[in-house]
Amino acid sequence: MVQSLNRFKETPSQTAGPYVHIGLTPNFAEIGGVYDADLGTRMVNDKTKGERITIRGHVFDGTGTPLKDALIEIWQADADGLYNSPSELRGTADPNFTGWGRCPTDMQTGEFRFETVKPGRVPFKDGRLMAPHVTFWIVARGINIGLHTRMYFGDEEKANAEDPILARIEHRGRVPTLIAERDSDTYNFDIHLQGEKETVFFDI
Amino acid sequence: MTEGVTLPNRRPETGAFFQRDRSWHPPAFTPQYKTSVLRSPQKALLSLDNTISEITGPVFGHNILGELDDDLIHNFARPGESAIGQRIIVYGRVMDERGKGVPGALVEIWQANAGGRYRHKKEGYLAPLDPNFGGCGRVITDEEGNYTFRTIKPGPYPWPNGVNDWRPAHIHLSIFGHGFAQRLITQMYFEGDPLIWKCPIVSTIPDRRAIEQLIAPLDMEATIPMDARAYKFDIVLRGRRSTLFENRLEGN
Ligand SMILES: [Fe+3]
């Protein structure tokens, strides 16, 4: 026998179910008066630095139907490429930018929408810069463990071409599933859970 | 949100997280839980060691909390009234895989009322709403990672999957640790509930020991006599590698 590694097992995931809004966005679920506001609804304020953008899209199931009961969270760097997190040691992020957003998909249309700023570039582990990106986390009824993916920006062709994560995608035809095309100040990012256009999801 | 939030007495953590043991979690495709069939990615996940985008994460300050956020018996009730049902305490510790407590973790919960009915416009179960029960609560863990809620025990409820599937009594939990890669949503079950072993959602977890990790034992030592029984539910988030010997580019 040898000594034990004394590790605990991570608590296993269970689906967020159809009523995730009650817990995470109760005001959206019409449970008023418990919390002042739902967390994650405002990422920016009047003083936030950087270029204002909107990120919008849908999450589609295997039949191409948008999910109307999903919840999306995003996490991103500020305009200078700094995260608003105690684990960010490279500098102090913009105090007027949270970096984190939470949005339920619309109960009628399935659309999600974030008002945010375009993130700066952050370094990969070896010091090379990654292309600007937003980390997505998707939960819903029928999703047993939250899905991680990334959104990249369609107008950052040069940065995307040298991004070490995008370079890891073996089937080059799948790279566009992570790239949001720009339309004025809005980036459209549709997520496909299955099918020919299945989004690249990450095990991170 | 993260403004002015510090985690005292701690060096900032910057290591990558241990790889997730996917065999301990439910797979995406679990046909006994029918909704998963069309919502499960079918291609392999792209495995990546964490970058700073996954190692960092939002941290929430106690300033977001209202006085009754941890008390589901009262946080939606009319003044002087309280929710109907078996009064319980749910408490435990949020720790990582190395056993270290996770301070400052945001734990958000939601649940059905004592009759098994959710307060949600898409909910159609015939059990009545409780006018004094909303069904949401949240806490932030203390310096050791401890948390406590007061609530009522939720009822089991039927749901459209098979013709006669019932969910065991459960509380949904969402946990934020210190890194976005730790993000987790799960469900807590109650010791002794026979429905646990008949539930298509519970059975998405392949390993019986992993299911047992979601079953909270009754803890009579922690009960409040003549008031509320207690259930203990510890939560384990992914652990981090130490950064002492992380490889760095020469000259960096
Ligand atoms: Fe439920």
pTM of the model: 0.95
CB contact, 8 Å: A198 with chain B? yes
Q: Is the model's pLDDT at B66 over the cut of 70?
A: yes
Q: What percent of chain A has pLDDT over 90?
A: 98
pLDDT digits (tens, 9 = 90+) for B150-166: 999 999 999 999 999 99
Q: Does B199 touch chain A (CB under 8 A)?
A: no
Contacts of A194 in chain B (CB under 8 A): 38-42
Both structure tokens of B19: 């790889």
Cβ proximity of A9 and B210 under 8 Å: yes
d(CA A9, CA B24): 8
Task: Give B13's pLDDT tier (boundaries 50, 70, 90).
Answer: confident
The answer to whether the Cβ–Cβ distance between A63 and B38 falls below 8 Å is yes
Q: What would you measure as the largest C-alpha separation in chain A, in angstroms? A: 64
Proportion of chain B above pLDDT 70, given as a percent: 92
Identify any residues that bridge with B93 across adjacent strands, giving them in sequence order: B146
Tell me, what DSSP letter sits at residue A192? E
Mean pLDDT over A7-26 rounds to 98
Average pLDDT over residues A149-158: 98
Report how far Cα A20 is from the mean position of its chain's Cα atoms. Answer: 17
pLDDT score at B124:
86
d(CA B91, CA A75): 29
pLDDT at B252 over 50: no
Residue A123 alpha carbon to ligand 1 centre in Å? 40
Give the pLDDT mean for A119-126: 96
Judge whether residue A1 has pLDDT over 90: no
The 10 Å Cβ neighbour count of residue B242 is: 11
Span B4-14, average pLDDT:
63
What is the pLDDT averaged over residues A118-135?
A: 97
B170 is catalytic: yes
Q: Note if B231 is an active site residue.
A: no
pLDDT of B50 strictly over 70: yes
Indicate which residue of B33, B118, B189, B231 is catalytic: B118
Phi, psi angles (nearest 5°) of residue B209: -65, -35
How confident is the prediction for chain A on average, in pLDDT? Answer: 97
From residue A133, how far is each of A36, A119, B54, B138 by CA, in Å? 30, 7, 12, 30
How close A125 comes to chain B (CA, Å)?
Answer: 6
Tokens at B124, concatenated: 């159609």
Least confident of B6-15, B22-31, B105-114, B119-128: B6-15
Which uninterrupted H or E stretch holds B117?
none
Whole-angstrom distance, CA of residue A75 vs CA of residue A99: 5
User: Cα separation of B144 and B231, whole Å?
Assistant: 19
Residue B145 has pLDDT above 50, yes or no: yes
Closest CA to A167 of A203, A159, A149: A159
CA atoms within 13 A on the CB side of B87: 12
Q: In which band, very low, low, confident or very high, does the pLDDT at B249 lie, cut at 50, 70 and 90?
A: very low
* B147 among known catalytic residues: no
pLDDT of res. A202: 98
Other CB atoms within a 10 A radius of the CB of residue B218 amount to 14
Residue B250 confidence (pLDDT) above 80 = no
pLDDT, residue B225, reads 96
B-chain CB neighbours of A7 within 8 Å are 97-98, 239
The answer to whether A191 touches A199, Cβ cutoff 8 Å, is yes
* HEC string for B203-220: HHCCCHHHHHCCEECECH
ipTM of this complex prediction, to 2 decimal places: 0.97
Q: Does the structure show a pLDDT above 60 at B246? A: no
Task: Indicate yes or no: CB of A39 within 8 angstroms of CB of B60.
Answer: yes
CA of B171 to the centre of ligand 1 (A): 7
Of B14, B97, B204, the CB nearest to A7: B97
SS3 content of chain A, % helix, strand, coil (to 5): 10, 25, 65
- Give me the phi and psi of A100, to 5 degrees please: -125, 135
Q: Which residue of B has its CA nearest to A40?
A: B1
Q: What pLDDT is stored for residue B245 in this prediction?
A: 57
Residues A145-171, mean pLDDT to the nearest whole number? 98
Confidence band (pLDDT; 50, 70, 90) for A6?
A: confident
Query: How far separated are the first and last CA of chain B, in Å rounded?
Result: 32
Predicted local confidence at residue B7, as pLDDT = 57
- Rounded to whole angstroms, the Cα distance separating B49 from A39 reads 29
How many other CB atoms sit within 10 Å of the CB of residue A54? 14
- Which residue of chain B comes nearest to A193, CA vs CA? B41
**With bands split at pLDDT 50, 70 and 90, how would you rate the model's confidence at B244?**
low
Q: How does pLDDT run across B182-231, given as a tens digit for each residue?
A: 999 999 999 999 999 999 999 999 999 999 999 999 999 999 999 999 99
Contact yes or no for B178/B57 (Cβ under 8 A): yes
